[in-house]
Structure 1
Amino acid sequence: MSPILETRGLSRSFHGLRAVHDVDFALEAGEIRALIGPNGAGKTTFVSMLIGRLAADAGQVIFEGRDITALPDHRRVALGMAYTFQITSVFSRLTAAENVALAARRRLGGDRAAVAREVATALERTGLAGQGEVAAEDLSYGHQRLLEIAMGLAQHPRLLILDEPTQGLAETEIAAFKALVRDLAGQTTILLIEHNMAVVMELAHRITVLNFGEVLAEGTPAAIRADRAVQEAYLGTEAAHG
């Protein structure tokens, strides 16, 4: 099988400084892959090129066998990619249900009954069923993050990219999030950018580690945990900070 998402030689520099350099990456369909690395490793730049918010200097982004390197972000969404931002991007004055409905309409058009069903399902799955009529700006930060995920789910993506999804969540909400990701694993492919290493080690099938804009290591959670180079570059720092 071909990977659902692939990069070949993907590179980007800013003012002569290499942010991402010659990254080859392949994500298999149905996989939960975690992307980790220290601050400044190039994760945000790499993901921004995946979703079309940042142009690559060199290399290719391939989605389901199609070269999408030149496509803008909204065209990539239409092809089946959904992305939740590290900084919440909901419409603050709309209710939670209205936010999800906007996302659902991208796929379902004007079918109001179908949109309403999709909204109810997405809010239920993310633990927000009782928050549908609350304005997004009145939700807690953690619930705004969950609302972003609900908006992503409503699009029925073939690839769901989750950027720091547990940031701001309480422990009980993190437990519910992990259950949701496990449930989703049979329906969509997930790329998880996450600093919470307990979440990463528990959920990911495989982990890719970026450092100084390059792939430092890739493998199963057990292999990554045992990798001395990863320990020195990242995991040792993470352990020191709890």
Structure 2
Amino acid sequence: MLLSVRNLSKRFDGLHAVKSVDLDLPEGEIRALIGPNGAGKTTLVGMIAGRITASAGSVIFDGEDITRLPAHRRIARGMAYTFQITSVFARLSVAENVGLAARRHLHGAKARKAVAEALDRVGLGARAEQEAGDLAYGHQRLLELAMGIVQHPRLLILDEPTQGLSEGEIEAFQSLIRNLAQETTILLIEHNMRVVMALADRITVLDAGRVLAEGTPEEIHANAAVQAAYLGGGDAQAG
């Protein structure tokens, strides 16, 4: 099992944002994490990635307890996390942003080659010299994805990656994720249920900080509790 989360919990000043979550993610799987606004999805992946300190519980990655490791140590072990809100360096070029991420593993000509390949994969090859801050929001999300890809992670965590993308870009994104799944394990927070149902091998549903259900897309779509909590209102939105 690549990732195992046990009894993971987080309290913020009396608010119990995540409550005793267990999660097992096998290598090579695309796992979607869905749920209503305020369900605790971003808090949960923040704890997995080491950007939020857990109040209780454990995170095991590739057989090692990493619960107390800082985020940069988790990155060194093979995690990459793209944020719900973009975190690019606006005054640097698109290529320079990806180059900063690549330097954790590569240098010189190998790094430049990896940067070019990552940008081509997300469709930003022609924008390599553009300032990142001048990109449209959706393209900044794709730049973040390139920054994750270039690290060749064992686990790629994506937080609402299709936000701000056009329909055509979403189609290209889905093709890219299917391709990436041949190389890495993917944990995906996504509000677009068409994307979730098309991509996920399995889905974990959070509600009020707890795991409400887990299963294949077909099982989740047919789950009455999920319908009541999340899917019943039409187009689902996550937060």
**In which range does the TM-score fall when normalised by the shorter chain?**
over 0.9
* Cα displacement (A) at 1:76: 0.4
* Cα displacement (A) at 1:238: 3.9
Q: Is the 8 A contact 2:81 2:158 kept in 1?
A: yes
Q: Give runs of aligned pairs for residues 90-105 of structure 1, distance below 5 A.
A: 90-105=88-103
Q: Equivalent of 1:54, from 52, 62, 86?
A: 52
Match of residue 30 from structure 1:
28
Q: In the TM superposition, what whole-angstrom CA distance separates every residue of 1:73-129 from its partner, at most 9, and x where no partner exists?
A: 010001000000000000000000000111111111xx3100110011000000001
* Cα displacement (A) at 1:45: 1.1
Query: Does structure 1 residue 155 correspond to structure 2 residue 151?
Result: yes
Q: In the TM superposition, what whole-angstrom CA distance separates every residue of 1:126-147 from its partner, at most 9, and x where no partner exists?
A: 0001000000001110100000
Match of residue 115 from structure 2:
119
Distance in 2 of aligned mates of 1:238 and 1:4: 34
Residue identity in the other structure for 1:223: E
Q: Equivalent of 1:201, from 168, 184, 197?
A: 197
Mark the CA change 1:129 to 1:47 in structure 2 (over 3 Å): closer, same or farther.
same
SS at match of 2:230: helix
Distance in 2 of aligned mates of 1:120 and 1:135: 16
* Cα displacement (A) at 1:240: 7.5
Distance in 1 of aligned mates of 2:133 and 2:154: 29
Distance in 2 of aligned mates of 1:17 and 1:164: 23
Match of residue 87 from structure 1:
85
SS at match of 1:239: coil
* Cα displacement (A) at 1:239: 3.3
* Cα displacement (A) at 1:13: 1.2
SS at match of 1:106: coil
Q: Equivalent of 1:8, from 6, 17, 36?
A: 6
Query: Does structure 1 residue 144 correspond to structure 2 residue 144?
Result: no
Distance in 2 of aligned mates of 1:199 and 1:77: 26
Pairwise CA RMSD of aligned residues?
1.0
Moved >6 Å (runs of 4+): none
Match of residue 210 from structure 1:
206
Query: Does structure 1 residue 132 correspond to structure 2 residue 128?
Result: yes
SS at match of 1:107: coil
* Cα displacement (A) at 1:17: 2.1
Q: In the TM superposition, what whole-angstrom CA distance separates every residue of 1:36-59 from its partner, at most 9, and x where no partner exists?
A: 000011111111110111111111
Query: Does structure 1 residue 190 correspond to structure 2 residue 186?
Result: yes
Provide the identity percentage.
66
TM-score (norm 2): 0.97
Distance in 2 of aligned mates of 1:189 and 1:48: 17
Distance in 2 of aligned mates of 1:10 and 1:182: 29
Q: Is the 8 A contact 2:7 2:57 kept in 1?
A: yes
Mark the CA change 1:53 to 1:197 in structure 2 (over 3 Å): closer, same or farther.
same
Mark the CA change 1:240 to 1:217 in structure 2 (over 3 Å): closer, same or farther.
closer
Match of residue 73 from structure 1:
71
Q: In the TM superposition, what whole-angstrom CA distance separates every residue of 1:9-47 from its partner, at most 9, and x where no partner exists?
A: 111112222111111100010000000000011111111
Distance in 2 of aligned mates of 1:16 and 1:223: 34
Match of residue 216 from structure 2:
220
Q: Is the 8 A contact 2:192 2:236 kept in 1?
A: no
Distance in 2 of aligned mates of 1:142 and 1:151: 14
